[in-house]
Amino acid sequence: MIEFIWNLGSFVVALGILITVHEYGHFWVARKNGVQVQRFSIGFGKAIWRKYDQYGTEFVIAMIPLGGYVKMLDSRVDEVDEATKHRTFDGKSVYQRIAIIAAGPLANFIFALFAFYVMFLIGVPSVKPIIGEITPESIAAQANLPRNGEIIAISGQRTQDWQDVNLALISAIGESELTLTVKTPDRIGNKSYQLNTQNWQFSPENESSIASLGIQPFRAKVHTELAVVAAGSPAAKAGLQVGDKLISIAGQRVDNQWQVFADNIKTYPEQNVAIEILREGKILQLEVRPESRTWQNKVIGYLGVQPVSDPYPSEYQFEQAYGPIAALTQSAKKTWQLIELSFQMIAKLITGDVSVKNLSGPISIAQGAGSSADYGLVYFLGFLALISINLGIINLLPLPVLDGGHLFYYFIELITGKPVPEKIQEIGFKFGTIALLSLMTIAIFNDLSRL
């Protein structure tokens, strides 16, 4: 329940910030072009707070925080006399109307640039993309990728950390081949590896893009000695203690391999299973009953323990922190990279290279908001920047109910010299509403199926 409240609160804060930024873009440019703004609303429905400024604009925070709008004076829907016609939205030139509508998505992109800028000024703790284990018979195994090599580029795109690797791989979905440039384990030279991705199967709801190729990031050595036994967990109820060393599970010896024990315990949800431990030089027999948890759409056993692990090598860790000028350059690169990637994903959805099952809705966004806020300000800023870019791009889609649909009509007006007929616009708005609701329904269904 606490997790739900935290995720919901983080979601409301994130969405409130991004909607305010988007609508302020429309508001600011409308004011600069002499349009009378009647209402600036964050949310829909009944107002829970309102205030008027000296220009007569009503600022509102409404009950349902799932959107917002800027209502401008418009002679097509409002009674306007000749004295105020020059302050109407429809009374402005097509260029001015294009600027006002485009300002919303543009504000989202500018905000992402700002969020990344602050993030890089503060500094982002990162780890180098060092290859750990390679899954046998995987795409990576067939390409003979080396363990302990560092991935420094994918098809010419530089990769500093695992997030860069993930983004580069996602942008390559649908390609038949990938080139990975890897710094050799001895750190002396670089070598390129060709990965055949014609039969690459990537399901984001089940695994990461990295794991789908058979690459496991380097992890510090993990031992079978327990470092943490969660209070009230199945492990604590069975009598396990910090310092216990695991010997076997269900008669199978662990042989100092934590993963063997972890994989086995997952197969016993709500079932009694015998384990053998070493405590203070004595071998003890215990019986545990793991709880059932849902993970990647599967029911697994959960025990509630963490093992002792070696420190992560300091040479594999670094911080992405820059001065004021360099941070601006890096934030611009990051913003452009994500804008480009988002458009690529839309194109691949249309061509079928990416399944609609990959669409995420408000539940996934809320979970992302909560988890990023958990990690701290730097990660929450990164999350806000990503969602802000997505919000800007979604609004640029040429659906009549979105900013992109209005822009589409205005560009037609720019070319033909006359506005699109009202009847055609109404048909377009109906089509756009159906299309948008369909996409939202698919996204929410995907969210629910992942719970």
Whether 446 shows a pLDDT value over 80: the answer reads no
In 312-432 the beta strands, taken as DSSP E runs, fall at 317-320
Do 210 and 217 contact (CB within 8 A), yes or no?
yes
Question: Residues of the chain with pLDDT > 70: what percent?
Answer: 90
Domain spans in the chain, listed from the N-terminal domain onward = 124-219+311-320, 222-310
Whether 444 shows a pLDDT value over 70: the answer reads no
Whether 433 shows a pLDDT value over 90: the answer reads no
The token duo for 151 is 């991935």
One DSSP character per residue, 10-48 reads HHHHHHHHHHHHHHHHHHHHHHHTTPPEEEEEEEEEEEE
Cα(8)–Cα(3) distance, integer angstroms: 8
Is the fold of 124-219+311-320 the same as that of 222-310?
yes
> Binning pLDDT at 50, 70 and 90, where does residue 429 land?
confident
Identity of the highest mean pLDDT range in 110-124, 177-191, 298-312, 331-345: 110-124
Segment among 131-140, 157-166, 373-382 with least mean pLDDT: 373-382
Q: What is the DSSP letter of 185?
A: T
Do 338 and 266 contact (CB within 8 A), yes or no?
no
Given 3, 23, 82, 225, the catalytic residue: 23
The more confidently predicted of residues 64 and 321 is 321
Whether 23 is a known active-site residue: answer yes
- Mean of per-residue pLDDT scores for the chain: 86
Segment among 49-53, 338-342, 440-444 with least mean pLDDT: 440-444
C-beta neighbour count of 3 within 10 angstroms = 11
Do 35 and 87 contact (CB within 8 A), yes or no?
yes
> Binning pLDDT at 50, 70 and 90, where does residue 298 land?
confident
Residues 146-198: tens digit of each pLDDT: 988 899 999 888 999 888 888 888 888 888 889 999 998 887 888 899 989 88
Topology of the domain comprising 124-219+311-320: Pdz3 Domain (2.30.42)
3-state SS, 230-257, equals CCCCHHHHHCCCCCCEEEEECCEECCCC
Look at residue 296 in the predicted model and tell me its pLDDT: 61
Topology of the domain comprising 222-310: Pdz3 Domain (2.30.42)
